[in-house]
Amino acid sequence: MAFDFDTIIPRRGTGNIKYDRKPELDPFWVADMDFASAPCILEALHMRVDHGIFGYAMAHEGLNQAVLSYLSARFGYEASMEEIVHLGGLVPALSLAGRAFCKPGEALMTCTPVYPPFIGVHNDSKAELITVDHIKKDEEWSFDWDGMEKAVTTETKVFLLCNPQNPTGRVFPRQDVIKVAEFCERHDLILVSDEIHCDLILRPEAQHFSALNLPKQFAKRTITLLSPSKTWNIAGLGYAYAVIVDDSLRRRFGSARGHMLAEISTLSYYAAEAAYKDGEPWRLELIDYLRGNRDILVEFINNECPGLKTYASDATYLQWIDASESHIEKPSGHFEQHAKLFLSDGAFFGWPDHFRFNFACPRNRMIEGLEKIRAAL
């Protein structure tokens, strides 16, 4: 392996929320990795720092071409620069979509369990929230189509899709994504597809189907959100983008920005450019390492931790663990108290009898965390 994913890099005391929010705990919660970013990104940042000036930034030609090339190579989608909306992160984009397309009293819809901002951004537009639980069949997560039809209302305006799904790790197949788009068309909803984890596919046979590849008829109501941040561990630099084909939809989305969003930094642009242009060798080795971590974790939880169960997820480095058979009322709180672990509380995802474990860390450190879970049971 050409790249090092085993060295433990001390992070405590460096002003990061993962380690410093609750410094007395061993953290396996928030979705950033304990690996140094790809060398090509570090080199690009050093070069930009050496320039010495950090004024207001705009997306430079190298970044723009890197984004277009990525979309072509990754999805076979030939975008124009007019379709790209640069953003300072995907959570602001979710909020922006709600404010652009939902008036106070109207509704935003999503399926749970899901990344917590999905079930919070409706508050920014004073909209209502409608949630429908995902269902699991034969270890694969899907949609409760009947439940969605019963829950949707005439006041519903936006559907938020998370694919690959966080926290379940599901990569929804082509037919499911098309069926979601058909649901949105039938009920005149704007489809916002968050695909931030699309380059972290761990199961080789799982094929990510992007909303960019939907039949053209759906383009007038579809916003696709992407970012290199999770894959190349540059989330703290704050760069993402929306691909919006329809001009009218793009104008409505942009008009909701107002003066609410911060400027994107020049370092963010250059890190994103380096990730897309030169980061693929690092990404491929990362995937192999994460797959190995996932397999060890799944076997350990299912064989060594009575009352807990999980499965080999399709994607992401975030493991969704079912603690319902343990009869522990609040699993994350239990492991915080008895194992000194900081885990993501399933309640924030809409499912309080589960918890999420971040396994994007050196393998020995992950195993130590798992052993603490076992001991606390």
261 pLDDT tier (thresholds 50, 70, 90): confident
Q: What is the mean pLDDT of residues 249-275?
A: 92
The three-point CA angle 178-112-75 to 5° equals 35
pLDDT, residue 39, reads: 98
Q: Are residues 219 and 162 part of one domain?
A: yes
The CATH number linked to 324 is: 3.90.1150.10
The number of angstroms, rounded, from the C-alpha of 213 to the middle of its chain's C-alpha atoms is 19
Does residue 335 sit in the same domain as residue 198? no
| Judgement on whether residues 135 and 100 belong to the same structural domain of the protein | yes
Structure confidence by residue, pLDDT tens digits, 106-160: 999 999 999 999 999 999 999 999 999 999 988 799 999 999 999 999 999 999 9
CA–CA dist 41, 359 (Å, integer): 22
Q: In one letter, which amino acid is 93?
A: A
C-alpha 313/C-alpha 127 separation (Å) is 33
Asked whether the predicted pLDDT for residue 260 surpasses 80, the reply is no
Question: Do 218 and 272 share a domain, yes or no?
Answer: yes
Confidence of residue 1 (pLDDT cuts 50, 70, 90): low
Instruction: Verify that 91 and 159 share a domain, yes or no.
Output: yes
Q: Are residues 137 and 206 in the same domain?
A: yes
Q: What is the mean pLDDT of the chain?
A: 97
Summarize pLDDT for 67-82 with one digit per residue, the tens: 999 999 999 999 999 9
CATH code of the domain covering residue 73: 3.40.640.10
Give the rounded percent of residues in the chain with a pLDDT score beyond 70.
100
* 260 lies in the same domain as 353: no
pLDDT band at 32 (very low <50, low <70, confident <90, very high): very high
Mean pLDDT of 237-250: 97
Of 290, 289, 292, 301, the C-alpha closest to 354 is 301
Task: Give yes or no for residue 360 having a pLDDT over 70.
Answer: yes
CA-CA distance, 118 to 249, in Å (whole number)? 20
Identify whether 45 is part of a domain. Answer: no
Q: Which residues contact 28 (CB under 8 A, 6 or more apart)?
A: 341, 342, 343, 357, 358, 359, 361, 366, 369
- Count of domains forming the chain: 2
For residue 164, whether the previous peptide bond is cis, meaning omega lies within 30 degrees of 0, is yes
Of the residues 278, 302, 335, the one at which a domain ends: 278
- Does residue 326 or residue 257 have the better pLDDT? 326
Query: What's the distance, Cα to Cα, between the start and end of the chain in Å?
Result: 36
Mark whether 367 and 239 lie in a shared domain. Answer: no
Average pLDDT over residues 338-353: 97
Indicate the pLDDT class of residue 218, thresholds 50, 70 and 90. Answer: very high
**377 exposed, middle or buried (CB, 10 Å; 0-12, 13-18, 19+)?**
middle
Q: Does 273 lie in the same domain as 134? A: yes
Give the domain extent around 247.
Answer: 54-278
Co-location of 273 and 286 in the same domain? no
In a domain, 9, yes or no: no
Residues 173 and 272 in one domain: yes
Same domain, 219 and 366: no
- In whole angstroms, give the CA distance from residue 335 to residue 240: 34
Among 278, 306, 332, give the residue marking a domain's end.
278
Q: How far is Cα 351 from Cα 366, in angstroms, rounded to an integer?
A: 24
Give the contacts of 35 (CB within 8 A, at least 6 positions apart): 5, 9, 233, 286, 360, 361, 362
| 66 occurs within a structural domain | yes
